[in-house]
Structure 1
């Protein structure tokens, strides 16, 4: 179930879900889904045998959608409303999943009460990504792992460098090329002007970056 104003399941969600299943990341693990939207990743982790799943979103509609979807699917998911790691500040998790907003926008001001908050992420698309990379080491257990999905326009090397600064080993564990969606198509000229895509490019590579405790 996806009410108006909640991010729909798309190719990035599918790629992250596939990586999680193929790598058996969730089985028996305490999982946190940051920016859960409809709860699709949280549900996928629960169905993959996670020991527990907590889902967080700032949007009240997303929290309601995730709660209802977890009940419809009979999955024991704990749902919290708040900003990124704020609602679970004292918790530690074996696996953190993140499909954050990552589309470059005209402004660094982030929308709070429009559908655009599902994808707008500042001029370089990294406003939320950088916060996740900075804060996730403190949310992981000693052998914890984070999986983050985003577009090539946000520069995977920057994500890996940010995770390494937090003491994590980082690598790309999944890739897929998909056509531009409506938002990326609408911003194609902006992305070209910023040098984030090639002239005429109308597809993008989506990457999943893994970060785990060094050693």
Structure 2
């Protein structure tokens, strides 16, 4: 079942391992999707499974995938094959007293569905703006937008955010009761994606300053 606030769940999308970590809440799923940069897109062709890392953008209740108009991957996906779309944000390493209980803190999303070809030029432009904003918020208004020739050379697919779930782990390790007395350090090692110092293009004019959205670049809240 699904409603406006939650994604649909079926046998293939139900969280079975540690279900208390699972959620179908749209707000949580959208937040994870908006913070991530790379998705892994899984599908099967002639009994051969493929998992391809891809950039993406979100616009409302749909995701956009893009590539060359001659991309074999996108040509395959637009045929209506079943797609599994996943993203993961790694938030930390969980260090337990026993090696068995070492883990990771993470936020992940797994979605299921079929992709459709975007044919409208207006929607293609909206999708490319979504890609741009997914990568660098504010860049779309600064850079040259795609021209008609570039639009023709680009294939864009729309993937609905309808079925799937998020899964999240937070907090300290969960050791066996008898192991808490062991004289071994335990806890969490937080991890975070951080940006370095922007590197100038050698052909950049000397009077052009670094945009604030790059000097203050960060992912998430």
**TM-score normalised per structure 2:** 0.24
Name the structure, 1 or 2, with higher relative contact order (CA <8 Å, separation 6+): 2
**TM-score normalised per structure 1:** 0.24
Structure 1 or 2, whichever has the larger Rg, is 2
